[in-house]
């Protein structure tokens, strides 16, 4: 069977993130990438207990879709936390709570700040993947 692809599909490049995770899975590398903590850092026992309690007490809440904004009690808790601990989302700072999102481990106030930081992070990750790929290719060539 012969497959035909559009010109656009033929020019697609591999995902830089996929390349990063390929190296992050290799135990000989130490990954410092955001969003990829050491497995032993996960509170797996606590998460299992929370999940069991949630499934016992609120299974529909756990399994059903909700509003796209998020779980209202959690949003209210985060709003209060951000105001009291970070002084963000107060009437004086000009950043409405609705603009604050938790994205890749960083609390950001505006989308433009996130987009600039995200672009820089993606560029750095892609460069690291390119360097690692080149190093791996060099190892293979020497072997």
**Tens of pLDDT along 14-56?**
887 777 777 777 778 777 766 667 778 888 999 999 999 999 9
Q: Say how far apart CA 9 and CA 11 lie, in whole Å.
A: 5
Q: Using only C-alpha atoms, what is the Rg of the chain?
A: 21
Cβ proximity of 27 and 132 under 8 Å: no
Whether the per-residue pLDDT at 119 is higher than 80: the answer is no
The rounded distance, in Å, linking the Cα atoms of 36 and 65 is 26
The DSSP element (H or E) to which 108 belongs, if any, is: strand 106-108
**Size of the chain, expressed as the number of residues it contains:** 143
pLDDT of residue 50: 93
Q: What distance, in Å, lies between the first and last C-alpha atoms of the chain?
A: 37
What is the tens place of the pLDDT at every residue in 61-98?
A: 889 887 777 778 888 888 888 888 877 777 776 666 66
Unique residue bearing structure tokens 């529909």:
60
* Phi, psi for residue 135 in degrees, rounded to 5: -65, -40
Question: Half-sphere exposure of 123 toward its Cβ, with a 13 Å CA cutoff?
Answer: 6
Q: What is the mean pLDDT of residues 107-127?
A: 64
Give the β-pairing of 106-108 and 101-103: antiparallel
pLDDT at 107: 46
The pair of three-digit structure tokens given for residue 1, joined into one six-digit string = 């069977």
């Amino acid at each position: 069977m012969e497959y035909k692809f559009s010109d656009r599909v033929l020019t697609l490049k591999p995902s830089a993130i996929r390349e990063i995770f390929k190296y992050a899975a290799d135990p000989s590398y130490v990954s410092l990438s955001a969003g990829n903590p050491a497995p032993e850092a996960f509170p797996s026992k606590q998460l299992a207990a929370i999940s069991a309690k949630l499934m016992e007490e609120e299974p529909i809440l756990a399994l059903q879709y909700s509003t796209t904004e998020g779980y209202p009690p959690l949003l209210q808790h985060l709003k209060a936390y951000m105001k009291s601990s970070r002084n963000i989302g107060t009437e004086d700072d000009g950043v409405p709570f609705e603009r604050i999102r938790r994205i890749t481990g960083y609390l950001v106030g505006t989308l433009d700040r996130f987009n600039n930081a995200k672009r820089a992070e993606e560029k750095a990750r892609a460069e690291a993947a390119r360097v690692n790929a080149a190093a791996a290719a060099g190892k293979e060539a020497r072997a």
